[in-house]
Structure 1
Amino acid sequence: MTVLSIKNVSKRFGGVLAVDDLDLTVDKGEIVGLIGPNGSGKSTTINLICGVFPMDKGSIKLFDNDLKGLARYEISHLGIARTYQNIRLFGGLTVWQNVWIATRQNGIGSFAKKLGALFLRSQKSVEAVDELLDLFALQNKANIAAENLSFGEQRRLELARALASEPKLLLLDEPAAGMNSEEVQELRDRIFKVRDLGISVLLVEHVMELVMNVTDRINVLNFGKKIAEGKPNAIQGNALVQEAYFGS
């Protein structure tokens, strides 16, 4: 079953064609990679899926739902969650509170300011938060402010927050940035756990150690255009991919 379908999508910023007639799919239970040199259109593609920018042409569908023209919150409610290159957490709130807010998708920005004495817990949300903290090995950090976590712990918290909305598709935008090799291996295991929950994953990443060891298929962009698609071992030996990264 196809979860995400991108067909003939293009996006131009002034004279720059950031995404050029892109076709891409993610099936149920798949971890699909999206790689390419800097400026190849990877993050723009993520932003088009999430409704940050309108596409100039083409279609993007989540299952049978056409995402064209939908607001970001509407796309989120349909079942798409994402992480960001730059971690976005409520630094002054605890780890537990950060995940709990993410279970209440509507108006979390303004709602965050009303926490403290007015912080109410529903039993369902409490159980969901505790399960997510356990999944990402953050249970013993539950009462610590997010800003006091290590970099790797903040990345795990961001993943837990993304899953709190119970998505069908998770978009990961360079989650391994700044991680050492041990942290990358741990992240790989977490992504497999996400897939085991029945959530499909689209991974944008520069760290090849992660991409080659976690994805089922890889799409490669260069100057906004898809130049290759295939299994990791095929992509590693692809001449067009090597030229895009290293030159002729």
Structure 2
Amino acid sequence: MSHIVQETVTRGAAESRTRDVAVIVEGLSRRFGTGPLVLDGLNLAIAPGSFVALLGRSGSGKSTFLRTLAGLDPVTEGSIARPRNVSVVFQEHRLLPWKRVWENVVLGQDGADRRDRAVTALEEVGLGHRVDAWPLTLSGGEAQRAALARALVREPEFLMLDEPFAALDALTRLKMQGLVSRLWERHRCAVLLVTHDVDEALLLADRAVVLERGNIRTDMTIPLARPRRHTDPGFEPLRATLLDALGVHWEKL
């Protein structure tokens, strides 16, 4: 069974139920100083191998929730149970410019096979020809591919993607979405994708969760067959449901 990281403040955390669930969040609350609650008793379970999209308007608590799941923010109220082996891909690639691309991919890792592992991961994301390049010579899409390789080389059981395509042009974004879909089908780790893009959620995820004021407003299964297209039957009704949950009423635009 996978190693589980437990961060518990309240009693009754999910120690006995992590066998069938990759991530369990119970009663998670968070505020900064004396301000209002950013997360308000949030509960969420993510199954192993599932792909979940997390959406919400600005200020809904998405970033705080992801930082807490990643262990970057403390759990002050509630509990989180998640796999020990977790990777995060941020909106910014965060590559160190003074290290070659392959060195960035295995940053912090040991072993004589470091370069071999980096090359394998880079080839998987289509960057086998940029192994020895300097990060500043990469395009935006290539830099995000390198960041994705850095996450995958750690063989995570839980992968978090924090709006990783937001800074990319439309064509590159579509290519990256296709890449992430193929990589997920190959590796089958649990994935949480934070996005503002409803279409992206529907194209990639099997479940869409909408946050509002630190809690879940909508938790919707996406029963579309893969590969997906905007023209698939059922796509538009699901899109309308998510837009409505986000406060966007298409007929009024």
TM over 0.5, shorter chain: yes
Point out where structure 2 has 5 or more consecutive residues left out of the alignment: 1-19, 223-234
1:28 alignment counterpart: 48
Q: Is the contact made by 1:102 and 1:162 (CA closer than 8 Å) also made in structure 2? A: no
- Larger helix fraction of residues: 1
Q: 1 CA distance for matches of 2:23 and 2:55?
A: 17
Query: How many correspondences in the alignment?
Result: 216
Work out whether 1:245 is the aligned partner of 2:235: no
Residue of structure 2 in register with 1:115 after alignment: none
CA contact (8 A) 1:170 1:201 kept: yes
Aligned residues: percent identity? 28
Among 1, 4, 7, the residue aligned to 2:26 = 7
Q: 1:51 aligns with which of 29, 46, 71?
A: 71
* Number of the residue aligned with 1:130: 119
1:228 pairs with one of 218, 235, 241: 218
| Residue 133 of structure 2, aligned match among 141, 144, 152 | 144
Q: What residue is the counterpart of 2:208 in the other structure?
A: 218
Residue 197 (structure 2) aligned to one of 207, 227, 232? 207
Deviation sequence 1:141-195 (CA, Å, 0-9, x none): 1111012211111111111111122211000000111222322222222222332
> Partner letter of residue 210 of structure 2?
V
Q: Match of 2:217, as an amino acid?
A: I
* Alignment RMSD: 2.0
Of the structure 1 ranges 218-227 and 125-134, higher mean CA displacement relative to structure 2 is found in: 125-134
- Displacement of 1:59 after TM fit? 1.1
Q: What is the rounded CA distance, in whole Å, between the counterparts of 1:93 and 1:162 in structure 2?
A: 17
5+ long unaligned stretches in structure 1 = 64-77, 105-120
Give 1:138 shift: 0.8
- Does the Cα contact within 8 Å between 1:168 and 1:200 map onto a contact in 2? yes
Cα distance between partner residues in 2 of 1:236 and 1:129: 38
> What's the counterpart of residue 97 of structure 2?
91
Partners in 1 of 2:107 and 2:72 — Cα distance? Answer: 22
Q: Which of 96, 106, 109 is matched with 1:103 structurally?
A: 109
Displacement after TM superposition at 1:130 (Å): 1.3
Contact 1:218/1:235 (CA < 8 Å) preserved in 2? no
Residues 51-90 of structure 1, C-alpha deviation per residue, up to 9 Å, x if partnerless?
A: 2222232111015xxxxxxxxxxxxxx1011012222111
Counterpart contact for 1:4–1:61, Cα < 8 Å: yes
Q: Could you state the TM-score of these two structures normalised by the residue count of structure 2?
A: 0.78
The counterpart of 2:171, out of the listed 176, 182, 198, is 182
Residue 39 of structure 1 and its aligned partner are, at CA, apart by 1.1
CA distance in 2, matches of 1:79, 1:159: 15
Matched-pair contact (CA < 8 Å) for 1:36–1:245? no
User: Which AA in structure 1 matches 2:22?
Assistant: V
Relative contact order higher in (CA < 8 Å, ≥ 6 apart): 1
Deviations 1:4-56 (A, max 9, x none): 11111111113121111111122111110100001111110011112222223
1: distance between equivalents of 2:175 and 2:247?
26
**Structure 1-normalised TM-score?**
0.80
**Alpha-carbon deviation of 1:102?**
4.8
Q: Which amino acid aligns with 2:106?
A: W
Distance in 2 (CA, whole Å) between partners of 1:146 and 1:228 is 39
2:182 & 2:117 partners in 1: Cα distance?
Answer: 16
In structure 2, the partner of 1:114 is none
Aligned-partner Cα distance in 2 for 1:35–1:244:
8
